[in-house]
């Protein structure tokens, strides 16, 4: 698939093969982070991602320009931002075998179509979602199975991705 690049082009993540899936997430954490970062929330307050295998993602350029943010200090989830231009690049569950690349980092033609909008129970009540794809309230068993299937294909390995510096505080 296409590379993920920051807005100014300094940071480039090369992505091989097809993503595990493309989704939009409506969870509270994604909404909070998206509002703080800017530029990633859809008109429905969801955030688009391409979920990719960690063993198929390579930091091509921009080493030293990535900083990890956690919503709370003990959170196991990091959102990694390019320090050169402020573009959020990806979200990572540290123990996970996949990266959630912000769809906004991909060329427009590579962002969709999404398989579903997940965690929609957290969206504001005023949001009316289109019915073009499933809009489950939480992560469905099918969603978890797709992630598990990718892990099986990876031989249950969880590659270590340590491209980003931790933000202070």
Segment interacting with Zn ion, rule: CB under 5 A, options 49-57, 74-82, 104-112, 142-150: 74-82
Q: Is 144 in the site for Zn ion (CB under 5 A)?
A: no
Rounded to 5 degrees, what are φ and ψ at 92?
A: -135, 125
Nearer to Zn ion, 82 or 161 (CB): 82
Is there a contact between 61 and 11 (Cβ–Cβ < 8 Å)? yes
Q: At residue 116, what are phi and psi to the nearest 5 degrees? A: -165, 165
Please report whether residue 25 would count as binding Zn ion according to CB under 5 A: yes
- Closest CB 122 distance from Zn ion, rounded Å: 8
Please state the closest distance from residue 157 (CB atom) to Zn ion, in A.
24
Q: Across-strand partners of 88?
A: 81
Choose, by CB under 5 A, the member of 27, 41, 51, 81 that binds Zn ion: 27
* By CB under 5 A, residue 36 contacts Zn ion: no
Residue numbers 77-96 binding Zn ion by CB under 5 A: 82, 84-85
- Residue 106: how many CA atoms within 13 Å on its side-chain side? 22
Per-residue contact string for residues 93-122; x = within reach of Zn ion by CB under 5 A: ------------------------------
Residue numbers of the site for Zn ion (CB under 5 A)?
A: 6, 8, 10, 25, 27, 30, 82, 84-85
């Amino acid at each position: 698939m296409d590379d993920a690049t920051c807005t100014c082009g300094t940071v480039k993540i090369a992505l091989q093969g097809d993503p595990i899936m493309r989704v939009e997430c409506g969870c509270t954490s994604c909404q909070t982070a998206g509002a703080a970062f800017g530029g990633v929330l859809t008109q429905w307050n969801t955030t688009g991602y391409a979920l990719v295998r960690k063993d198929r993602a390579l930091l091509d350029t921009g080493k030293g320009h990535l900083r990890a943010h956690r919503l709370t200090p003990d959170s196991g989830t990091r959102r990694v931002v390019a320090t050169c231009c402020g573009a959020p690049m990806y979200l990572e569950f540290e123990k996970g075998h996949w990266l959630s690349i912000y769809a906004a980092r991909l060329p427009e033609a590579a962002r969709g179509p999404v398989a579903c909008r997940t965690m929609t129970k957290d969206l504001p009540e005023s949001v009316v979602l289109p019915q073009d794809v499933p809009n489950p309230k939480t992560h469905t068993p099918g969603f978890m199975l797709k992630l598990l299937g990718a892990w099986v294909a990876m031989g249950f390995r969880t590659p270590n991705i340590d491209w980003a510096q931790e933000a202070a505080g």
